[in-house]
Amino acid sequence: MRRQLIRWVVLLYPTSYRATRGDEILAGLLDAADDASRLRFLTHVRSVALHALAVRGRLATGGDRRETLRQGLVLAGVAVLGIKTGTEVGTLAWPWAFTVALLLTGLAILLVSRRWWQHVAGAVLMVVAAHEWPATGHVLPGVGEISLELLGLAAMLIAAGRGRSSPLRILAGISASWVLLAGFDPVGPTFMFSMEMGVASLGLLIGVGDARVAAATGFGIALYGIQQVARPDRWLTQFPGPLGLYAIVAACALALTFRRFQGEAPTRP
């Protein structure tokens, strides 16, 4: 059981990284399997899995464009298949909307973390991609709700690659998202909530450790709040408040964990 788990964890690493470090990490995990208690072993496995995702994020934002697109698609695929379709395999199909959404996701991830205008374009595309995902909902129940994870995922990728970004750049990204959000007709409650979560987590993830960016994020969220007051018919009454709060807290925790494995946040061993 432990060895099987180890194999799966090592497979989380990108191929290029696995080729150079895979054997070493496999050996380390095998040592842990032989030596550590069950709980401690699971801690090691979890940490290695997070490290693998961090490496993927780093490659996606720091490598060349082909590699970026490939990693983005892999991550999106993992998210879709792993998170949402686990209990709905019987309904799995491959509609064109799904392909479009996937390609948009990859393109968005490709664009983020580049130059200033590309970053904004990436943020715009993320919103468009998130808009596309719910359209697949009638064909793939559950998959359509991926926009929530998609935005969180994209935010993680950005956080991994950018470190402390310019507040202006973050503000531009958040504002672009919000403007687009305001311009779209909501396609459903999932989309609206996803955007709330996405906009908040995007800024918070990047803003961890940087008060100026956090302030810019607060501004973005405030803009969203204005819209909430102005158009309460859209979603205000559809979601319990604590849910959004929990989501934001979870996003922050994820960000801290993720950046810790990037060596950008204090590690608490």
Partner 1 sequence: MQHASFLVLSALAASGPAHGYGIVRIVEQLTGGRQGLALGTVYGVLDRLLSEGAVEVAFETVESGRLRRSYRVTRSGREALAGEVRRLEAHARLGRRVLGPSFREQV
Question: Which parts of this chain interact with partner 1 (CB under 8 A)?
Answer: 21, 23-32, 35, 40, 43-44, 46-52, 54-55, 260-263, 266-269
Write down the least CB distance from residue 38 to partner 1, Å.
Answer: 15
Give the Cα separation of 177 and 90 in Å (integer): 35
Write down the least CB distance from residue 51 to partner 1, Å.
Answer: 4
Bin 84: left if φ > 0, else alpha if -120 < ψ < 50, else beta: alpha
Q: Which is nearer to partner 1, 6 or 171 (CB)?
A: 6
Q: Which is nearer to partner 1, 87 or 267 (CB)?
A: 267
Write down the least CB distance from residue 32 to partner 1, Å.
Answer: 6
Q: Which is nearer to partner 1, 52 or 121 (CB)?
A: 52
Q: With beta carbons less than 8 A apart as the criterion, state whether 233 and 182 touch.
A: no
Give the Cα separation of 256 and 123 in Å (integer): 22
Helix or strand (DSSP H, E) at 65: helix 65-78
Write down the least CB distance from residue 36 to partner 1, Å.
Answer: 9
Give the Cα separation of 163 and 180 in Å (integer): 25
Q: Which is nearer to partner 1, 164 or 234 (CB)?
A: 164
Q: With beta carbons less than 8 A apart as the criterion, state whether 177 and 126 touch.
A: yes
Write down the least CB distance from residue 248 to partner 1, Å.
Answer: 25
Tokens standing for residue 206: 């990047």
Q: Which is nearer to partner 1, 66 or 268 (CB)?
A: 268
Residue matched to tokens 């709980």: 39
For residue 109, give the nearest of 122, 100, 97, 127 by alpha carbon.
122
How many CB atoms neighbour CB 73 within 10 A? Answer: 18
Write down the least CB distance from residue 195 to partner 1, Å.
Answer: 32
Q: With beta carbons less than 8 A apart as the criterion, state whether 159 and 205 touch.
A: yes
Q: Which is nearer to partner 1, 51 or 162 (CB)?
A: 51
